[in-house]
Amino acid sequence: MKLARQSPKEERRKSVDFWIYLARTLTIVSWLAFLVALNISYFVAPETDFGVLRYHQIEVRKFWLTPLTGYLYIIIWSSAAGSYTAILIDKYRSRRGYDNPYYNLYFLLIVNLIWLSVILQHVLKTAGII
């Protein structure tokens, strides 16, 4: 007669554990932070100088708003950190190698890093450092 071995660890197949909930929460929070950053960047970035504005001699702001740029930078970094942490949690907590690869997190991380470098380049160019 075979006896079933009882493992001291909780069986992960029965229910989702804390780490999976944390990864899902980080994913949602990272995407929400990204959407907030998109909204803030609309107000922070210099305005586009369209021909209609020049014709009507309407003044256009050609510089970045530095107080809001700091908040934008923090929000984008937190979004990138959250997505990277969720990727790490999913990597170590997935049961099989072919589980969901979460391409949306990789996309979010890459877009955040590119956006950070573009903002940094514009701010440094405006400050006259580059």
pLDDT in tens, 39-50: 998 888 888 888
pLDDT in tens, 16-30: 788 889 999 999 999
Mean pLDDT of the chain: 84
- Burial class of 7 by CB neighbour count within 10 A (0 to 12, 13 to 18, 19+): exposed
pTM: predicted TM-score of the whole model, two decimal places: 0.76
34 token code pair = 């990204």
